Each structure stands twice: as structure tokens, then as C-alpha cells.
Amino acid sequence: MKPTEAGERIELLKKEIEEHNRRYYVDNNPIISDFEYDLLLNELETLEKKFPEFKNDNSPTNRVGSDIVKEFAQYDHAYPMLSLGNTYNEEEVREFDVRARKGTNKQIEYTCELKFDGASISIIYSKGKLFRAITRGDGVRGDDVTLNVKTIKSLPHRIAVPVPEEFTIRGEILMPRPVFDSLNAVRENEGQAPFANPRNAAAGTLKLLDHRIVSSRNLDCMIYSVLADSLPYSNHFESLMAAQLWGFQIHDSIRLCKSIEEVISYIKEWDKKRHSLPFDTDGVVIKVNDLEAREELGFTAKSPRWAIAYKYKAEQVLTKLLSVSYQVGRTGNITPVANLEPVLLSGSTVKRASLHNADQIELLDLHNGDMVYVEKGGEIIPKIVGVDHSYRNLEKKKIEFITNCPECGTLLTRNEGEANHFCPNYLHCPPQLKGRIEHFVSRKAMDIDGLGEETTDLLFSKNLIRNFADLYDLRADDLIPLERMGEKSAANIIKSIEASIATPYPRVLYALGIRHVGETVAKTLATSFRDLDSLMAATPEELTAINEIGPKIASGIIAYFSDKENIELINRLKNKGLIFCQVRTEATLSDKLAGKTIVISGTFSRHSRDEYKELIEKHGGKNGSSVSGNTSFILAGENMGQSKLEKAEKLGILLINENEFLEIIGEY
């Protein structure tokens, strides 16, 4: 592979991995399995080693994913919450054992623990009382979810026996399968989308702002680590047994293994037994038991060298393919879905499976009536992974991807370099119209309460709305006659619609549903183009000159603003008073950094990196993720990344230290 090709592939992999990180940690809605994710990450690591000139500090290979959201206060972890290296075969487990034994003179034994599939949590206890609970976040800082965690009955609020003055408990927040099934039944009855799996349900519940709802969902917590500056134990197993005496829940499957052969035996034993548990598990965590040996082995940039996660192969079943249907997303993407003869898989009945796109159908060489192998990738989303050709009826036709939209009949389009077909009739295709409205009213966009999928569908079917601008013409009298509405519900919806007029410009921009423009891109565009008119007038060259805006995003923006009907909708929104420019708020401190793109590198004493990022934005600047010709200067701390330093020297970019930066913004 040529360097230029490698650089392009590395950038593509980075964006794809970051998108999957967002879906997993923030949206709790992953679309690929852990195995597929690890393949992407391994490919990126391999290319970065071969072409180190393209590696930088912001690569996903250096960082864990982040589940941080703005509704919660954030706190730093006293002990970083790192990811674990994954393996899927016995040989790599044995290689881990060889590395561990070479890395320390201590006698090696291991603890084996089931890897419960939930949401990681770090809980600080001070003087025997539960003080603060923090999500994994980005591994360094996470969200404060203390009130929600205090609703979990298996976690003690106060410990009666003698314990260290301050210690941290690490565990996995779980939703038992019976609770999950009941919750999904309620959601489906109310017309809401069901959670994909218990892990998503647990993570989503943990981020609810109403801890009374959290309490009603009966979450549980399984502990896997005890941390403190000084623990009276020499090994991990002893510390967990002590935690059990303190009142914490330690699963009785934990085992102390004297050799790697015992570890392998444990893995094989629980491959079958795990399905009888009330919680989802997707593997085994293998940890060096001795704490001093762990210190000798140390860490990589994102994971400990003294632990590894063995992931079980996803369970597969054989069933019949009945038909293929096609779903139209809000941006027009066409997703083929396999309709299957119902079959039991990993504890639940599967009737449908994802086929992703036309290429996947072609790769599988699917025919009507085929017997297909289905698995839950990483115990998450069912998908077809193969065909048993011995059952094939030769008279059955090969499945051909559709050429026209199944909803509006428009000829489908497939852009060069993209995997998906899409319907370009986004202003008149019913699922896209409804999808755009649902996106517009969603919490991260205009945040209009009371307009869920079912209500939106009702308003659409009654011809009360055909687009999101119609929402601002609604009156309570329009809504009251509708089924299951009533005066109070109607009044609340109208009140929420009126309140949304004050939504800040970046969120309004995101709400418009421009193709390829997500939350982060919308924020970047709002910083670079301080009002919508200047963004609408931007050329492709001006757009791609912005860091993180590539040709694909730029073409989506240009296409959106080239459509007269979109401009008409925007003008209607402007007339209703929606905000289409950056407004100086209390959070904005000055324009001293206006027009400047600043890259942060290293560690600091006066503020954390996240605090400096906030300060840059509050003073009108923009945070850059990597050093380029567009970088105005680098805020350089201790231990600045070598690659950034070399690139800065090469491009002649100014380095500003912490004190100099604080002088610039007037804080020193």
C-alpha cells in the first residue's frame, strides 16, 4: 500500500471507529458486533505502525470510547478506567500468559471472572458512605450519576464494618433479562422502539434524568474491582472477597486459577453454563492476581498489560429465509431486512435479521427460501452470516436488490464510495418526511416533548403536519380531538413547541437533518459560520477548508441548500423566530480567540484538558483535533506528543504554554 493510500484509509478508519464509539457509548445503539469493531481497530493499529507519520494523539487506538453527555456534571476518575484487550481464540490467551510471565519475576496466577455485558461504573466510598458514582466516560472523566446509582438495591449506601477511609468500587450495571423483557413489552405497547438488548437498556436507564424511573427498572450491579491508595491485600482475589464481606455483590463464578490450563478449562466450562444466568455475558476477563506483579507489567496507552478479555464466539442457528423487505431511513438510506422463520437464538426469538446493504446480499448469494445461518454479532443485533447450500431449491430465484424506493417509487441512488443505496426524494417520501420530523423534535435537536414516533405518525396521517415547519402552525384545538390526546396533553405539546423557538443555533442546524451533518459537525459549522446565511453561501472549497469537514459532508451541505423547498422551510422557521445565528450568551466570555483553531497537547496544572477546550470555545475559538495548516497555535503542556511537536516545527506553528494562554484570555 502506498503512503497516500494508507493515509486515506487511516482517516476513513478513524471516522468509522469514532462513529461506532458514539453509537455504543453515547447512543447505546451499536450497529456492529464487538468482533467487527475489533477488526477495524486492529486494521488501524497495523496501518499506524507501518505508516507512523499518520498517527496522532487523537487516534482511537490511543483512547477508549466516551459516554459523556452534557446533562450531567463531570468528574475525573482517581484511577483511569481503561479498556481491555480482546481475544477470540485459545492461542492468543496462551500468548498473553507468555507475555505476563516474561514481564515479571513474580509467580503468576490468574483470576477468571465472567464478563457481564452492561454499563461500567466507578463508585467512590468515603468514610464508609457512598459518595459519588461516575460512568466510564472517556476513561479519564465521566458523568456523575450518583442519584441513579443509589436506586440500585444491591449497592450499600453505608458500610457498617471497618473499611479503608476512601476506596473505589468498579462494577457493571446490569439489567436482568426478565426485567428487560417486561420493559420492552411496555415500550412496544406504548408505540416506542424496544431496546436492542439488556446492555443498551441498562446504559440508557443510567443516563435518565429522573431517578424515580431508574428505580422502577430494578437495575443490578456486579462488582469486579476494589481500588485504593492503600489496600491491606496483596492480590485481587482477596480484595474482592473482602468487598463481599462489606456487602457488595461478587458473582460466585469468580475463580482463582494457578495455571493457564485452568484458565482455558474455565473458559470452556462457562461457554455453555453462561446461558442459564439471568444476565447477559459475552466472555471471560482474565487478570493477573498479584497486585505487585500488575505494577511491574504496567499499561499500554489504553489498556492494562495484566488483563485480557476472552470473547465467546457468537451463537449461530439455522433457519429459513422467508423474504427480504426494505426499510427507508430518515436520510433516505435503504436497509434490507431478512424476514425469517422464527428461531430461538441466545435466549430470545429472532424473526428478522439485518442484511446491511446490496453488497452483503451479493456476497451471501442469497436465494428465496435459503436456509441461512443467523447469529447475534457480539450478542447484540441478529444478522445473516452464511447459507447452507445443501438445502437450496434450484428453482428459487436469486434475491436482487430493489431499484426503486419501496415507499414512493423513486429511482434509488448510490453515490460513489458509499455502501448504501438511498432514495433522493427526501421532501416527499413518507418515511423520510416522518423521520425528519422525528429527528427535528428529538432531545438532542429541538427537544420537543410529547411528540414521540406514535404521535408524529398520527399527526402525519391526519395531514396536520407534512414537514417540521408545520409544527409551528399547530394549535391546541388541532390536537385535542385526536385519539388519546386530551386538553392537558395538547397544551403541553404546544407549550414545548413554543419553548423550542429558543433552541441555540448549533442544535437548530443539527435538527434540519442535513445529510452527513451530525451533532459534532453542526457545532463545527456553527462555530465557523456564525449565521445560517453565511453557511448557505459557502463554497465547497470554503467548507472543506474547515478541519473535519470532508468532500462528502460538503456535498451534502451544498445539495441541501441548493433545494428551493428546503430554503422555503428555513424561511418559515425564521419567520417563527427560530435562532439561525450564534448569540452571545452568559456562557460566552469573549471573542479573543475568534477565528482561531487551537490544538491542545500535553498535561496541565491550572485546568484539565476538557476545561481548556471549554475555555477555547467560550472565548470564540475552535478546538482542532490534529495539527494542520489551519492550526492557529498549539496550547502546549508537559509531555506534549512528539508527533504533534514535529509537525508543528515542520509547519512553523506557534506553541503557547499554559500561562501564556491564560494571559491571552485574561485569566492569568
CA distances from 588 to 420, 507, 580, 583, 645 (A): 40, 16, 17, 9, 30
Q: What are phi and psi of 187, to 5 degrees?
A: -60, -45
Tell the residue number behind the cell numbers 487511516, with chain if given: 10
Give the residue among 232, 234, 200, 230 at the shortest CA–CA distance from 217: 200
Distance CA 155, CA 163 (A): 15
Tell the residue number behind the cell numbers 404521535, with chain if given: 455
Distance CA 163, CA 156 (A): 13
Hey, what's the cell of 348? 430470545
Residues whose CB falls within 8 Å of the CB of residue 185, separated by 6 or more in sequence, listed in order: none
Packed helices 453-461 and 430-441: angle between N→C axes, nearest 10 degrees:
130
Residues with active-site annotation: 115
What is the separation, in whole angstroms, between the first and last Cα of the chain?
A: 49
Q: With beta carbons less than 8 A apart as the criterion, state whether 514 and 439 touch.
A: no
How many residues are listed for the chain in this entry?
668
Amino acid at 429: C
Packed helices 3-21 and 34-50: angle between N→C axes, nearest 10 degrees:
150
Hey, what's the cell of 636? 502546549
Sheet containing 633-636, strands listed edge to edge, beginning at the edge strand earlier in sequence:
622-624, 597-601, 633-636, 654-656
CA distances from 378 to 117, 282, 357, 375, 382 (A): 10, 7, 20, 9, 9
A 10 A CB-CB count for 129 gives: 11
Output the CA torsion sign for 253, 257, 263, 269: negative
Distance CA 471, CA 467 (A): 8
User: Strand, coil or helix: what is 55?
Assistant: coil
Report the relative pairing of strands 119-126 and 622-624 from DSSP bridges. unpaired
Distance CA 170, CA 149 (A): 12
A 10 A CB-CB count for 214 gives: 21
Tell the residue number behind the cell numbers 473482602, with chain if given: 242
